[in-house]
Amino acid sequence: MTNDHINTQFRSLPSVEQLLQEPGLGGLAGAYSHAAVVSLARQQLNDTRDAIREGINAPELQQLAADIMARAEEEWAPWPRPLVNATGVVIHTNLGRAPLSEPAMAAVTAAAGSYSDLEFDVSAGSRGSRQAHIGRLIAEVTGAETGLVVNNNASAIMLGLSAVAGHASPMPMGEVIVSRGEGVEIGGGFRIPDVLRQSGATLVEVGTTNRTYVRDYASAINEKTAAILKVHPSNFRVIGFTHEAGLDELVTLGHEHGVPVLNDLGSGCLLDTTQYGLAPEPTVQQSVDAGVELSFFSGDKLIGGPQAGIVAGNSEWVERLGRHPLARAVRIDKMGLAALSATLTSFLKENAHEEIPVWRMISMSLDTISKTAEGWLNEIDSPAVGLREGQSTVGGGSLPGETLATMLLAVTPPDSPDAFAARLRSGPTPVIARIEDEVVVLDPRTVLDGQSAAVVEAVKSALKA
Ligand SMILES: *Cc1c(COP(=O)(O)O)cnc(C)c1O
C-alpha cells in the first residue's frame, strides 16, 4: 500500500459537513443533537481512515451514512437491553442478577414518576427518615431489632467496619478478627482484607485456611479488639479436613469481652433451601437468632430484589451505622427502596416462591421444566434438536457446587457450537445459551414467562442461517 494510494483514498472521503447533508442521515440529525451526530460522523471517518491504512478502499458516501446509522442504532438505543437467560444460572451476575417480581416492578414505577413520602411523615406533616419503613420490614422478616439499607452489600460492609472499627468509631483503628479461611475475594477484586484496611480497621487474621476454632479468636482478643467478623465464603467451598467456629460460640465469646460480632452472609437467604433439594444455605434468621450484632447481605442475590446492601441487627449498632458520614455517601435511591420494600413484603406474605422470580425458578419442578422444553422441541421441529437431562445452578456466589436437576433443549448445530451460540445472541432479543460437550443447551428454568416465543424464534432462525 503506497502513501500515494492512501492519500488518494483519504481525499475521496467526504467532509463531516458533506456527510451530514446525506439524506440517509436525515432522521438522525432531527432526532439527536447536532453535536452528537457530528461526533458520531467524526468517529466513523476516523475508523474509516484506519481501515484505509489497513488496505481497505474508501466506502461510498451512502455506505458511510449507513454505517453511521448502524452505529447510532447500536450506541444510542435504549440500554440495558432485555435478553433471554437460557443459561440455567438463576442469579447471573453478568445478566443483572435477580429479575424483579411484579409487585417490585409496580412499586418502582409508582415511586419513579411521582413525589412520595420517601422522607416525609404524612400524618405529622414533617420530615421523616427513608430508613424507618424499610427498617421495620427488615425487622419483621429477619427477627432482628431493626435494619438499614444502602447501595449494595459491599458498601454495607464498608460502612459497618468503618462505624464499628474505623477512624471515628468507638474503637478508632480497632482490630477486627477474621479467620484465615474467610479473608476472601468476593468478586470483581473486592477483597475482605482490602475493605478492612480501607475502613480504617486493623485486620487480625486467626486460625488456618482450613481450620479455625473459637479458641483462635479468643487468644487474639485484647483491649484494641473492635469486632469479630465472620464472612460466608459464598463463591467456593473448602472440602475435607475443615473446621469453622460456629456463630453461637463467637457470639458467646464476643459477649464475654464486650466485642460485637459482624456477619457477612453474602446472599442473605430467608428461606430453607433444603426443601428444594439444595444444601442448607445459612439464613439471616439463624444469624439473628445466634445473637450476631450486625448481619450483612445483598438485595439482589437470594432475596431476589434490587441491588441493595441490607443490614439487620441490634438497634444500638444499626443506629451507629446510620449516623456515620459514609451512610450518606452510600445512600440507596427511592427506586431501590421501593423495589426492596415490595420484595420483602412477598416474604412477609409467605408467597416468595410464587411472586419472586429467583424463588419461582429455584422451586420450579422438573415436570414443569420438561413440559416447557418439550413445547420448544415440538415448535422447532428439527432433527438437530433434542432434549437432555442436565443441571441448573443458583449462581451469584450462592450455593457453590450445588445443582438442581433440569431438562435442557439440546441443539447439535450444523456448524460450530460457538457460531450457533453467537447467532442466538444476534437477534432482536438476544438469547444466551450454554455450550456443553459441543452441544448448545438452553435451560427453561431461567427463561421468564412470556419469553418462550423468543427462544423458539431464535433457535429456528439460527438453524436456518
Ligand atoms: C456478593 C457478596 C458480597 C457483595 O455484595 P454486593 O451486593 O454485590 O455488593 C459481599 N460478601 C459476600 C460474602 C458476597 O457473597
Same structural domain for residues 30 and 118? no
Q: Which of 6-15, 255-264, 349-358, 359-368 has the lowest mean pLDDT?
A: 6-15
Name the residue with the closest Cα to ligand 1, atom 3. 266
C-alpha cell at 289: 437468632
Domain that holds residue 410: 84-93+359-464
End-to-end CA distance of the chain: 36
Cell of 418: 460457538
Residue 423 and residue 331 share a domain: no
| Residue to mutate, 91, 97, 150, 153, ligand 1, most ligand atoms under 8 Å from C-beta | 153
Q: For residue 440, is pLDDT > 90?
A: yes
Q: How far apart (Å, rounded) are the C-alpha atoms in residues 146 and 367?
A: 41
State mean pLDDT over 357-377: 98
Q: Going by CA atoms, what residue is nearest to atom 13 of ligand 1?
A: 266
Angle between helix axes 417-425 and 452-464 (nearest 10 degrees) is 130
| Cell matching residue 264 | 457477612
Instruction: Tell me how far apart the alpha carbons of residues 48 and 40 are, in angstroms, rounded to a whole number.
Output: 12
pLDDT at 408 over 80: yes
C-alpha torsion sign, points 62, 64, 65, 69: positive
Q: Are residues 208 and 114 in the same domain?
A: yes
- In the numeric block, the cell 455517601 is attached to 329
Residue 160 and residue 51 share a domain: no
Return phi, psi of residue 38, to 5°. -60, -45
Please say if the pLDDT value at position 447 is more than 80.
yes
Say whether pLDDT at 187 is over 80: no
* Cα distance between residue 51 and residue 58, in whole Å: 8
Looking at the fold, whether 342 and 218 belong to one and the same domain comes out as yes
- Do 328 and 386 lie in one domain? The reply is no
Amino acid letter, residue 81: R
Domain boundary among 317, 352, 387: 352
Task: Answer yes or no: is pLDDT of 433 > 60.
Answer: yes
Residue that the C-alpha cell 471515628 belongs to: 168
Q: What is the CATH number of the domain that holds 199?
A: 3.40.640.10
342 with 376, same domain: the answer is no
* Domain termination residue (choose one: 318, 352, 386): 352
Same structural domain for residues 169 and 290?
A: yes
Measured in angstroms, how far is the CA atom of residue 91 from the centroid of ligand 1?
Answer: 13
Q: Which of 167-181, 257-271, 381-395 has the lowest mean pLDDT?
A: 167-181
Say what the pLDDT of residue 311 is: 98
The CATH number linked to 363 is 3.90.1150.180
Distance in Å, CA 267 to ligand 1 centroid? 7
Cell of 318: 444499626
Distance CA 459, CA 385 (A): 9
Q: Which of 144, 377, 404 is nearest to 283 (CA)?
A: 144
The DSSP-derived string for 93-147 is GGGTBSPPPHHHHHHHHHHHSS---TTEETTTTEE--TTHHHHHHHHHHH--SEE
**Mean pLDDT over residues 457-461, rounded?**
98
Query: What distance in angstroms lies between residue 300's CA and the mean position of ligand 1's atoms?
Result: 10
Residue having the nearest C-alpha atom to atom 10 of ligand 1:
266
Q: How many CB atoms lie within 10 A of CB 30?
A: 8
Domain boundary among 335, 352, 369: 352
Question: Looking at ligand 1, which residue's alpha carbon is closest to its atom 1?
Answer: 266
Question: How far apart, in whole angstroms, are the C-alpha atoms of residue 152 and residue 11?
Answer: 53
Q: Are residues 298 and 216 part of one domain?
A: yes
Q: How many domains does the chain have?
A: 3
Q: By alpha-carbon position, which residue is closest to atom 11 of ligand 1?
A: 266
Residue-by-residue DSSP string for 13-53: SPPHHHHHH-GGGHHHHHHS-HHHHHHHHHHHHHHHHHHHH
Most ligand 1 atoms within 8 A of CB, residue of 298, 310, 399 to mutate: 298
Question: 125 pLDDT band (50/70/90 cuts)?
Answer: very high
Residue 197 and residue 251 in one domain: yes
- Please give the Cα distance from 148 to 133 (Å, whole number): 10
Residue-level pLDDT at 185: 76
Question: Do residues 273 and 400 both lie within one domain?
Answer: no
What residues are in contact with ligand 1 under a 6 Å CB criterion?
Answer: 152-154, 186, 231-232, 234, 264, 266, 298, 309, 397
Share of residues in the chain with pLDDT > 70 (%) = 99
Between CA 318 and CA 377 the distance in angstroms is 53
Residue 173: how many CB atoms within 10 A of its CB? 14
What predicted TM-score, i.e. pTM, was given to this entire model? 0.94
Cβ atoms of 204 and 177 closer than 8 Å: yes
Dig out the grid coordinates for 448 from the structure. Answer: 421468564
Q: How confident is the model at residue 235 (pLDDT cuts 50, 70, 90)?
A: low
Judged by average pLDDT, the poorest of 21-35, 178-192, 401-415 is 178-192
Query: From CA 239, how far away is CA 181, in angstroms rounded?
Result: 12
What is the per-residue burial (b if ≥16 Cβ within 10 Å, else e) of 433-450? bbeeeebbbbbbbbbeee
Nearest Cα residue to atom 6 of ligand 1: 153
Q: Are residues 368 and 323 in the same domain?
A: no
Question: What's the 463 CA to ligand 1 centre distance in angstroms?
Answer: 39
Task: Tell me which DSSP letter residue 279 carries.
Answer: P
How far apart are the CA of 232 and the centre of ligand 1, in A?
A: 9
- List the residue whose alpha carbon is closest to atom 15 of ligand 1: 266
Q: Which atom of ligand 1 is nearest to the CA of 396?
A: 1
